Chain A
């Protein structure tokens, strides 16, 4: 990569940057290692991070860890201070009071989706984690895709297994840091020490691959939200998006069903987002308005976020919406009539193409 030698950083600026980053590090509160199945190495990554932080002088404790551990994990745990689980009515729960009393800088929590035994203060362990976070302690935890409430249905469709312990997705979005622990399914099956055929309850490579895809896309969505927050906070406009965002512009004449269908299909293939709008103005008849409302409804059915925009200058309003929603592709239809003067001077479509700098414009047949 070519490096610009002339733009040597101002040392003071750099120092400020580093300070700002230290501040960020202070702010970091919840870190989640996300994996698509058990055995990908989430717990290992979590414990290994604990080990490294401890080596750098941070005060680290283990707040919850499963009793039975493979040797490589047991070795890591041995080197760390463990706050034992609390027995409640024959069950076990994380000892939140003990952790709060001990008040370490960092607390490692395994099995964040666990249900606490009846009689516990919080029904679920992730709620315990929220308490620990509220006390200003950094929590590092690991999470398996199948335990995310909003993804449970999709995962069950793939694995055919029902999961009862879940964490709401907002827990993941609230994390300051998320790390995807990615491993090819083959390696996972090898580590499990048995070929898929030997254990009928084990997932097949295809099932694992489908889970892996969901986990990667989920992580990308979380990262996208972080990016959005970052860009907003710093007033940066990212011209070209990190994912496809398609805007379908509806008019009474535009071939709406084809545009919506294509928008839906494209958004799905790209794992992107879909938006559909129309511009309301005085020229729109009541009949047209009803028609457009119906079209927005059908766009919602294929997953579009919809909006009615008000204003006289269609091109200007559409472009404003497109920019504020980080749109990468605009779908438009041909206008109803082609006036002879449009052929020379350019009509609204020509003006839109000209205005849509940095955005693909796809024109649909009428």
Chain B
């Protein structure tokens, strides 16, 4: 049987995710459950190190890369040891090249496949679909991201909460990071307004995770009388209210943003979602190299987020796209905002504006461009 995944979700470093996870691990050990630590990143924090005492630790493996030695989780050793539960810190971590999987979450999926339960930690800013929003708030492009579908694999998501003031206090006292690093951290992620915003987003995300898992839980046995059949049919049947989103992929750099946004909206609306690229050239390979590569990158990105992709050929791009959308009962087309040059007077001739004009029988969403925060 597949292992169970539990994610401790926080909104910043230092809120106490790892500490909480270790405390829960101790509780399990007390009950006689076989728990090991597969990977721990205590960041030199005293409380966390103390909390790890008494738990079995699987030694890390050493990986050599470009003349330096790095340490990574030893997935093989854990699989051989076969514990009931494995504690693995920092779900979004990227492994050193040459150590098997690219991402730690891939190692974790492997452990789950082998029937091992995994407890892990993550901060909200590492969720792929929030990447642009976080960039907008912090001016930091988070590189280590976890696709939303990986988060969905979790059987349980728990929010570890602490007030931003208490967190800033810890930071000032040097509990979270050594002093000089703390002063630098204060500059971007640890501004109070940013922390408050990230915290709210983490709460909303946790509520969403709780909500989508509710349907799998056993129904109330006593108070709720059996629901009339009509209402249950209304919920389960994919009626006319269900959306299907089409994400219009181009070589435009904001396409990644479009895909993240589309994926997130689709998840919340429980809608289907597909990404489509259209070209008017004779064949795909005759596209200019830079454009072709950008499009391929975007399509791969969409597939990584579990968005189905299609490539279409047609002389008139707008018509081809809209015909395809009609044929596949698309309810919403998502597009990036057109690039406006200051001298551009002929708005109506722009492809995006043309699509809006022509696709009058469906909803068309022009996705905002989120830019990195530029305030002080």
Q: Which residues does A use to contact B, with CB under 8 Å?
A: 1-5, 7-9, 14, 17-18, 21, 24-25, 28, 31, 159-160, 177-187, 196-197, 200, 204-207, 209-210, 212-213, 216-217, 219-220, 223-224, 226-227, 230-231, 234, 236-240, 242-243, 262, 265-266, 269-271, 328-329, 334, 338, 342-347, 349-351, 353-354, 356-366
Contacts and interface: CB of A to CB of B under 8 A. Distances in A.
B348 A343 contact: yes
A177 B206 contact: no
B163 A207 contact: no
Given A209-B210, A238-B197, 6 more contacts: A1-B142, A21-B172, A187-B24, A240-B370, A269-B270, A361-B368
6 contacts: A3-B184, A160-B223, A206-B219, A219-B203, A271-B204, A360-B365
B203 A4 contact: no
Interface in B117-170: 132-133, 136-137, 140-143, 156, 158-163, 165-166, 168-169
Interface stretch (B294-302, B313-321, B352-360): B352-360
B156 A184 contact: yes
Nearest to A203: B220
Contact of B220 (A204, A243, A346): A204
B343 interface: no
Interface in B207-227: 207-208, 210-211, 213-214, 217-224
Contact of B363 (A205, A217, A364): A364
A230 B196 contact: yes
B368 A357 contact: yes
Contacts of B193: 227, 230-231, 234, 236, 238
B263 interface: no
A196 B219 CA distance: 12
Nearest to B365: A362
Interface in B324-357: 332, 337-338, 340, 345-349, 352-353, 356-357
Sorting the interface of chain B by its residue count into under 10, 10 to 19, 20 to 34 or 35 or more gives: 35 or more
Contacts of B196: 223, 226-227, 230
From A1, A2, A186, A200, name the one whose CB has the most chain B CB atoms within 10 angstroms: A1
A9 B187 contact: yes
Contact of A1 (B162, B189, B192, B261): B189
7 shortest A-B CB distances, which residue pairs? A346-B347, A160-B223, A216-B207, A220-B203, A206-B217, A350-B347, A240-B136
Contact of A21 (B132, B168, B361): B168
Contacts of A224: 200
Contacts of A9: 183-184, 186-187
B273 to A, nearest CB: 14
A194 to B, nearest CB: 14
A196 B93 CA distance: 38
Contact of B206 (A160, A216, A236, A351): A216
B200 A4 contact: no
B63 interface: no
A241 B55 CA distance: 42
Contact of B214 (A24, A206, A262, A265): A206
B241 A265 contact: yes
Contacts of A28: 165
Contact of B203 (A185, A217, A234): A217
B269 interface: yes
B177 to A, nearest CB: 10
Contacts of B224: 160
B203 A180 contact: yes
B188 A186 contact: no
Contacts of B187: 3-4, 7, 9
A213 B200 contact: no
A186 B348 contact: no
B162 to A, nearest CB: 7
A213 B346 contact: no
Contacts of A329: 365
B192 to A, nearest CB: 7
Contacts of A227: 193, 196-197, 200
A242 B204 contact: yes
B366 interface: yes
B367 interface: yes
B375 A236 contact: yes
A13 B169 CA distance: 17
Contact of B140 (A1, A234, A269): A1
B201 interface: yes
A220 B188 contact: no
A105 B254 CA distance: 53
A213 B207 contact: yes
A362 B172 contact: no
Nearest to B361: A365
Contact of A354 (B189, B340, B363): B340
Given A3-B184, A209-B213, A357-B369, A345 B348 contact: yes
A365 B362 contact: yes
B220 A206 contact: yes
B353 A353 contact: yes
A359 B368 contact: yes
B102 interface: no
B96 interface: no
